[in-house]
Amino acid sequence: MASDTQQDFERPLNPAPKAVIVGASSGIGAALARKLAAEGYQVALLARRKKLLDVLCQEINEEAGETRAFAYPHDVTQYNQIPELFRQIVQDLKTIDVFIYNSGMSHTIGLSEYDFEKDLETMEVNLLGGMAWLNQAATLFDRMGSGHLVGISSIAGDRGRVGNPSYMAAKSGMSTYLESLRNRLARKGAHVLTVKPGYVQTDILPEKHPPLPVATPEDTAKAIYKAIRRKKQVLYTPWFWRYIMLVVTHTPSFIFRRMSF
């Protein structure tokens, strides 16, 4: 964080809790914004699509009858803007209780396609932008000795499947990175939650996917909120993915490599 003065994190009496969501313009991020605002949070919402953020803020603020949502248009691959933007958000909100990195994207990759341009974008949005933002929030929470850091990873990070190698590598990296942050920040009093959604009905969901249930963004947001409240470390959502992935991670390689899953 650029500014390290104590008054940056001071809270007035009876404050509303504050949350930041990076990647809030659609899907799971927008559902989280609505859920947290409905629970009384003030929310700082970031993403590239300003129009969607403005409409979401207006909807939340009208519903609440007061200003609870604030839009900050931002592209997470613009790493050099992040320290100043984070400082601005801390100054605007006064403090942060929950910080969520949700931004993500996925290309459709053919089974014989090896395209570094697509890999690079995938790593930048799903992993490197996450590190750049989570480092800022981790620095703040380390100093505060409190706070909830949440990263939206995926079941895709649990095993290297044939479908989309860089997306799986990015999510695997995100899960490991979050575990390291958890182990560092636990001794300071801050919590880190890794979220591993299964299939959720959003723009990212590939048309072709195994015939397993698809969750709504709203149910996913509810499960994430509950996990934050319960200070969970890792959330598979819906719950049955924990057991599916237990089987997947224990399937021997000579069988796994023949599967198209």
Ligand X SMILES: NC(=O)c1ccc[n+]([C@@H]2O[C@H](COP(=O)([O-])OP(=O)(O)OC[C@H]3O[C@@H](n4cnc5c(N)ncnc54)[C@H](OP(=O)(O)O)[C@@H]3O)[C@@H](O)[C@H]2O)c1
In terms of CB distance, is 9 or 170 closer to ligand X? 170
- In this structure, which amino acid lies at residue 101? Y
Residues that bind ligand X (CB under 6 A): 23-29, 47-49, 74-77, 102-105, 125, 152, 154, 197, 199-200, 202-205
> Shortest distance, CB of residue 249 to ligand X, whole angstroms?
16
Specify whether the CB–CB gap between 233 and 182 falls below 8 A.
Answer: yes
In terms of CB distance, is 9 or 124 closer to ligand X? 124
Specify whether the CB–CB gap between 37 and 123 falls below 8 A.
Answer: no
> Shortest distance, CB of residue 19 to ligand X, whole angstroms?
15
Tokens of 131: 């590190």
> Shortest distance, CB of residue 157 to ligand X, whole angstroms?
9
In terms of CB distance, is 143 or 161 closer to ligand X? 161
DSSP 39: T
> Shortest distance, CB of residue 27 to ligand X, whole angstroms?
2
- In this structure, which amino acid lies at residue 131? M
> Shortest distance, CB of residue 220 to ligand X, whole angstroms?
8
Residue 62 to residue 65: CA distance in whole angstroms: 5
In terms of CB distance, is 54 or 142 closer to ligand X? 54
Concatenating the DSSP letter of every residue in 193-251 gives EEEEE--BSSTTS-SS--S---B-HHHHHHHHHHHHHTT-SEEEESTTHHHHHHHHHHS
Residue 169 to residue 161: CA distance in whole angstroms: 10
In terms of CB distance, is 93 or 155 closer to ligand X? 155
